[in-house]
C-alpha cells in the first residue's frame, strides 16, 4: 500500500518543515488538495504555494483538484510537473478530452469519484486512466468520518479495472487511519491519502508505516 499524506492538515505557517517531515518519514507521494470555494465550500492553495511545496518535496506530487473549470487549473499546475492530477467526474463535461490533455502534458491522469458516484460511471474511461481516486468523505475538509461504502465501491471498481486496464491504480481519500487500512487493502486499494491521521500523530514516520501494509 502506498501512502500519500495530505498537506491540508499541515501547519501552513511552517509548511516547508511540514512537507519535509512526511518525506523524511517515508511517504510515497505528497497529496495536495486544491479547492476553489465554488465546487467545494472551502478555499486552499494555488500554484504559488504549491511551487514551494514542490521545491522542498523529495516525493512526487499528487494534485487533487476540487474546482470548477478543471482545464484552467490543469494549465496552472502542469508546470510544477506533478505525478498525478485528478479531477472530479461530477464537475467535468468532457472528461475524455481532459484526460488526453493531462496525458499530453506528461502527467498521469486520474479521476475522482464522490461517495454517491458508482464506479460504473467511468467504465469507458478506465483504459485511459492511470488512477481512480475514490472519496471516502465528502470533499472539502480534512478530519471527517470515513464513509464505509467506499469498500464496496473499491471492489466494484477493481472488477472493472481487471477487465479494462489492469495498470490503473485505486486511491482512497478521507478518514483513513490504522483502523480501516486492512479493510481497504482487502478491497484492492493501492494508495491511501491520510491527512489528520498522519499530521495529528506524534510520530509521523510511524503513522506512515502503519498504513504501508
**Residues within the interface to ligand DX5 (CB under 6 A):** 6, 8-9, 31, 33, 64, 137, 139-144, 173-176, 193-197
Rounded least distance, CB 78 to ligand DX5, Å: 20
Residue placing its CB nearer to ligand DX5 in the complex, 62 or 128:
62
Helix (H, G, I), strand (E, B) or coil at 63: strand
Q: Which of 28, 130, 173, 190 is catalytic?
A: 173
Question: What is the sign of the dihedral through the CA atoms of 164, 162, 119 and 141?
Answer: negative
Identify which of 15, 70, 78 has the alpha carbon closest to the alpha carbon of residue 38.
70
Q: Which of 28, 33, 62, 190 is catalytic?
A: 33
Q: Is 33 in the site for Zn ion (CB under 5 A)?
A: yes
Q: Is 171 in the site for Zn ion (CB under 5 A)?
A: no
Q: Is 173 in the site for Zn ion (CB under 5 A)?
A: yes
- Chain position carrying cell 495530505: 6
User: What does the radius of gyration of the chain's CA atoms come to, in whole angstroms?
Assistant: 16
Using CB distances below 5 to 8 A depending on partner kind, what does residue 153 bind out of Zn ion, ligand DX5, none? none
Identify which of 73, 71, 82 has the alpha carbon closest to the alpha carbon of residue 32.
82
Residue placing its CB nearer to Zn ion in the complex, 177 or 202:
177
Tell me if residue 33 is catalytic: yes
Using CB distances below 5 to 8 A depending on partner kind, what does residue 140 bind out of ligand DX5, Zn ion, none? ligand DX5
Q: Is 18 in the site for Zn ion (CB under 5 A)?
A: no
Residue placing its CB nearer to ligand DX5 in the complex, 165 or 177:
177
Helix (H, G, I), strand (E, B) or coil at 77: helix
- The answer for residues whose C-beta is within 8 angstroms of residue 84's C-beta and 6 or more apart is 29, 60, 61, 62, 63, 107, 108, 109, 110, 130, 131
Q: Which residues are catalytic?
A: 33, 173
Amino acid at each position: 500500500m502506498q501512502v500519500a499524506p495530505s498537506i491540508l492538515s499541515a501547519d501552513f505557517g511552517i509548511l516547508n518543515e511540514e512537507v519535509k517531515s512526511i518525506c523524511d518519514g517515508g511517504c510515497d507521494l505528497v497529496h495536495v488538495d486544491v479547492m476553489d470555494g465554488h465546487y467545494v465550500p472551502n478555499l486552499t492553495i494555488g500554484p504559488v504555494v504549491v511551487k514551494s511545496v514542490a521545491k522542498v518535496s523529495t516525493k512526487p506530487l499528487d494534485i487533487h483538484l476540487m474546482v470548477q473549470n478543471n482545464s484552467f487549473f490543469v494549465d496552472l499546475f502542469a508546470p510544477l510537473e506533478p505525478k498525478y492530477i485528478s479531477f472530479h467526474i461530477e464537475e467535468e463535461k468532457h472528461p475524455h478530452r481532459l484526460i488526453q490533455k493531462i496525458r499530453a502534458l506528461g502527467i498521469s491522469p486520474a479521476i475522482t469519484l464522490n461517495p454517491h458516484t458508482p464506479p460504473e460511471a467511468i467504465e469507458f474511461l478506465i483504459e485511459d486512466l492511470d488512477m481512480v481516486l475514490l472519496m471516502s468523505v465528502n470533499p472539502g475538509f480534512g478530519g471527517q468520518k470515513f464513509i464505509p461504502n467506499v469498500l464496496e465501491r473499491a471492489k466494484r471498481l477493481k472488477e472493472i479495472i481487471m477487465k479494462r486496464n489492469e495498470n490503473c491504480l485505486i486511491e482512497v481519500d478521507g478518514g483513513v487511519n490504522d483502523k480501516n487500512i486492512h479493510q481497504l487493502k482487502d478491497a484492492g486499494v493501492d494508495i491511501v491519502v491520510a491527512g489528520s491521521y498522519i499530521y495529528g500523530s506524534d510520530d509521523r514516520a510511524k503513522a506512515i508505516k502503519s498504513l504501508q501494509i
